[in-house]
Structures are given as structure tokens and as C-alpha cells.
Amino acid sequence: MSNQPKPNRILVIGGVAGGASCAARLRRLLEDAEIVVFERGPDVSFANCGLPYFVGDVIQDRENLLVATPEIFRERFEIDVRVHTEVTRIDRASKTVEVLKRTSGERYQEPYDTLVLAPGAQPVRPPLPGIDLPGLFTVRNIPDTDVIRAWLDEHQPKRAVVIGGGFIGLEMAENLVHRGLHVTLIEMLPQVMGPMDAEMVATVHQALQDNGVDLHLNCAVSGFERGDSSPLMVKTKSGLTFPADLVILGIGVRPEVTLAKDAGLELGQRGGIRVDDQMRTSDPDIFAVGDAIEVRDFITGEWTAIPLAGPANRQGRLAADVIAGRDERFRGVQGTSVCGLFGITVASTGANEKTLKRAGIPYDKVYVYGSDHVTYYPGSEPIELKLLFSPDDGKVLGAQATGRSGVDKRIDVLAMAIQMGSTVYDLEQCELCYAPQFGAAKDPVNMAGFIAANHLREDSPLAYWEDYEKYKDDPPMILDVREEDEVEQFHVPGSVHLPLGQLRNRLKELPRDREIWVHCGMGQRSYYAVRVLRHYGFQARNLTGAMKLYQALN
């Protein structure tokens, strides 16, 4: 604890995830301070993350979205929360803010010792033709969902177009399907869920299509028009037109930095407010947290803006600690996130392959096809897990997983592993819950560690399908160790078939002057085969991802 004098007048701008967390923590640490929260909208501390489910009627009681109210803040924390109240200017010289009471138009000044900016982000609304037509919505706060629900009730729409395949777009698509609408999802990129690598979202694309969502990838919207038979026509650059009774824009958010910019605070290249690792802006009396700021990426060390509730809450808490004189430091963001969609869970933490490539960080990867719990116990569900790690020291760099059950648990374990600087050798050793209903004595997280460590120790070095093309002049042999009936169903053109059970007796058929890349269906039999081959001096590698990945890639 420092001996610095504590501020006694702290103003917080924005009363939701970051702002509310900060204010409540401030009170717990500073009993004597005067704390005022200004919130432009009608609600504080509401559950943004629940909004799609309120639209979908999964959450039916609007009140459930209100995690806390101004009354709770006053009674429990003696915090003065002013809703419908916007801060319109910061005067750093006089350490005052200008406030607009939106209900009456009244303006007044408020002095501060310390100011906390938690103004969040604004949904992106690109200046496309027709963007202001009725029936086109963004989802950021409860009033946005009130308007959408009213539109649903009044117009009884049949067709919705959701633009953007990020988690808000996906959750809205699912919830509109729930409400009985036919949904078209348009995404500019070749995949939904940007934080995942492309091969890991094939199941999501499938789940969307299986549930009747008309998915259009690589498709950029060019504008909107009034339709004859429907309120809106959504036009794409490729010349497609989609009729819609309702359009949801879910194409990302932009940090809300107007106040900070006008006050001359430093902004970063990603457009967010620059803060140090104690959430302090370029003005030492002003802190900023949440979607409005830029932070360091935990893996790459680059500046980044990751609009998620977890970081916003923790940053708010940490800023309060620092304001109260504690020497806490923010460690950066890993982007740990999860999305549920038609029963599928998609989750990731740390860097993906795209990011590592861009940042020039060397990496290796493994794919694990495990299950949420042992397959002999009823109801087990498959989990696909991808682990990225450093080839130098085995440090875990990122992980992605999909499945119907137990996905979030594995990614949470790996998120903590990343934060603790753990390596794949730690994953080999980590001791996780196991009983037949819950996991396996060798959990998929352990398995990822085993496979990765086997690779780094050269017990069973890995090969990647996408590298095969690089060996045009001296191609490795692709050895398929599956059973006859599996090979008959599908095999890699040019591959050699030799079932695992016959391997030891037929070693003479295999070359000693070429690499042998071994695969099976899921990666386990090929591992056994690689061990046999390496014992007998062959240059064998295990094709990670096995046939399952080959089919996803081809």
C-alpha cells in the first residue's frame, strides 16, 4: 500500500461492466471517498451479454437483465449513480467535467480528483446506402432490444438477415431462429468466429446450416433498399439480393473515445484510449477501462482492442485498486471467449495461428480428438481441441475447441495455463477432475500435452498436411495405418496402406531413405505406428489432425 493521499472525489463515466465494477470496488477500498457514476442510458450494470437471449425469449423477464440498480448502488455502496446523465466534456486544466441531464436538458459542472472513463464501444454502422432505413438494428443495450422486440411483435417478420458472423451475430442468428424466423447470415470473411482458425469452425458452419440458417461466407454487403414484398432488400457486392423483414448488424464495435479525444488524451492505432498496465491514461488523474481502451495482447505483446466483459470487469477492479493506492498491474488480454450455438460450444484463448503468423512468432500445433468424458459412460460427446505452442520451450500460446459439452472447461484450464506461462510439459502433468461422468483419466488437455511433448522430444515428431506441398521434389510417403474397411470408404490419393496390426511384419516394404508421414482416423494408431517405425530406425512422423483434418481441409 502506498502512502499517497487518497482521492476523495472520484467520477466514473459509464455505469456498466467496467464502470460499475470500478465504482463498487472503489467503495470497498475507500470508505470516505465521494463516488459518482454517470450513465448516459437508462440502466446501470445491465447484462449486455444476455441481450440476444432476451430477444430470443430465452430470458423472458426484462428485470433479470438488470444486475444492479441505482438504488442498490446507493443503499449498499453509498455511490451516487446518475442515469440519463451524459458527460459531454472533460476540462483537464480545471479538473472538471461538463454534465448533461438528458431528461431536462440541464447542464452542470462537476469537479474531480480522479476520473475513470468506462464509456464502452459503439456498434459499427458503416455509411452504406440505406443504412438508416427502418428495420435495421444494432444490439448494444436494453433499449436496443426493446426496439427489436417491439418490431418482432408489431411486424411479425418472417425473414431476418444477420450481418456479421462474430459472437453477437451468431447469438442473434440462433435467437431469431428460436423466434421462428428464417435467418440468412452474411459474413465478409471465409469463416465465422474470427478468433478461431478456419479449420476449427467447420462444425459451426455445419450447425448453422443444419438449423436452417442460410450461410453466405465471402460475402460483403453493399447497401440496403426498400423492398416491394419486404421492408428491406440487402444487397451484396457480388450482386446477390436478400429480402428481409428485419436486419441485425453485428459487424463489430468501435471504442467510444469522443470525450478522451476531445480532452487530448493519447489514443492508439486501434482507435482505443491508450493506458498503461495500471489503466492510467496519458493524464495521471484519468483512468480508462473496458471496451474503450487498447491493451497489450498477452501473447504477442502488441496493442490490441478486445471488447469482452471479463477484461472490462477486471480492468475496472484493477483501476480501483490503483486509485486506492495498491500497486496492481494488468497482465494483458488473452481474448478468452466462448460462444454457444445450437448446442455447439466454440471457445478459444490466447493466440490463433493467423495471429502468430502475422506477429512472426514461431509455433507448432496439435489436434486432439477427445471426448468430454470417457466413452464407456453414457452420453459422451466429442471435443475437438487445437493447441498452439512454442517449438523452443513448449510454452502454450493458444487453444481452440469445439464440441457439445466440456469445451469451456478445457479452454478455461488452458487459459490459466497460458497466464501462468505453462508449457506442454506442464499439461502432461496437470491433474484434472476425473470420474466417468466428467472427464477421463487422460483428459484432452493432458492428451494435448502428451502429443505436443512427444513432438518436442522427437518421440513422435509431427507433420502437417498443409506442408506436404512443400516437398514436391522429395515427397514423403503418406502411410495410412487404418483398417481395410476404413480405407475403402476414403483414402488420401497416393497414400500407402498398411494396417497397424501388420506393421511389424511388413517393415521391409517401407523406405529408409524417405520420410514416412503416418496417419490414421484420429491420430492415435498413427502415434503407435510412428513409435514402432522410429524404434526400427525409420524417419517417421505423425500427421496431426489425421484423416479427420485432411477431410476438413480438402
Q: What distance in Å separates the CA atoms of residue 298 and residue 301, rounded to the nearest whole number? A: 6
Residue 309 touches ligand FAD, criterion: CB under 6 A? yes
Q: Which is nearer to ligand FAD, 37 or 388 (CB)?
A: 37
Contact between 48 and ligand FAD by CB under 6 A: the answer reads yes
Q: In Å, what is the CA distance from 226 to each residue of 141, 149, 151, 235?
A: 26, 21, 16, 11
39 or 174, CB closer to ligand FAD?
39
Place of cell 437508462: 42
H or E element: which one contains 135?
Answer: none
Active site residue 49: yes
Q: Nearest approach, Cβ of 64 to ligand FAD (angstroms)?
A: 15
3-state secondary structure of 409: helix
Which one-letter amino acid corresponds to residue 405?
S
- Which parts of 457-545 fold into alpha helices (H)? 484-489, 524-535
> What single-letter DSSP state applies at residue 505?
G
Estimate to the nearest angstrom the gap between the alpha carbon of 206 and the chain centroid. 19
Among 7, 41, 370, 545, contact with ligand FAD (rule: CB under 6 A): 41
196 binds ligand FAD (CB under 6 A): no
Q: How far apart are CA 353 and CA 50, in angstroms?
A: 30
**Which one of 11-19, 152-160, 209-217, 516-524 is the stretch in contact with ligand FAD (CB under 6 A)?**
11-19
Single out the catalytic residue among 22, 49, 339, 433: 49
Q: Which residue is nearest to ligand FAD (CB)?
A: 290
Hey, which residues does 90 pair with through a beta bridge? 97
Binding part of the chain for ligand FAD, among 288-296, 399-407, 448-456, 530-538 by CB under 6 A, reads 288-296
Q: Are 546 and 486 spatial neighbours (Cβ–Cβ below 8 Å)? A: no
Among 59, 65, 136, 139, binds ligand FAD (CB under 6 A): 139
The window from 36-44, 59-67, 181-189, 470-478 that contacts ligand FAD (CB under 6 A) reads 36-44
Quick one: which of 108, 105, 172, 110 has its CA closest to 137?
A: 172
> Which residue is listed with cell 502437417?
464
Q: Find the binder of ligand FAD among 79, 248, 259, 344 (CB under 6 A).
A: 259
Position among 7, 290, 350, 403 found at the interface with ligand FAD (CB under 6 A): 290
Name the residue nearer to ligand FAD (CB basis): 126 or 511: 126
Buried/exposed code over 162-179 (b: 16+ C-beta within 10 A; e: otherwise): bbbbbbbbbbbbbbbbbb
**Measured from the CB of residue 38, what is the shortest distance to ligand FAD in angstroms?**
4
Q: Is 525 helix (H, G, I), strand (E, B) or coil?
A: helix
CB-CB contact of 243 with 118 (8 Å): no
Cβ proximity to ligand FAD: between 268 and 436 the closer is 268
AA identity, residue 520: C
519 close to 481: Cβ distance less than 8 angstroms: yes
Is residue 308 within the footprint of ligand FAD (CB under 6 A)? yes
For the CB of residue 65, give the shortest distance to ligand FAD in the complex, in Å.
11
- 48 neighbors 140 (Cβ within 8 angstroms): yes
Residue 52 makes contact with ligand FAD by CB under 6 A: yes
Q: In 10 A of CB 229, how many CB atoms?
A: 7
Site string for ligand FAD, 108-137 (x = CB under 6 A): ----------xxx-----------------
Q: Which of the residues 12 through 31 are near ligand FAD (CB under 6 A)?
A: 13-14, 16-19
Is residue 164 near ligand FAD by the rule CB under 6 A?
no
| 244 within 8 A of 159, measured Cβ to Cβ | yes
* 175 vs 230, beta carbon nearer ligand FAD: 175
Among 35, 54, 79, 140, binds ligand FAD (CB under 6 A): 140
Q: Which residues bind ligand FAD (CB under 6 A)?
A: 13-14, 16-19, 38-41, 48-49, 51-52, 86-87, 118-120, 139-141, 168, 256, 259, 290-292, 307-310, 312
Tell me which residues are annotated as active site.
Answer: 49
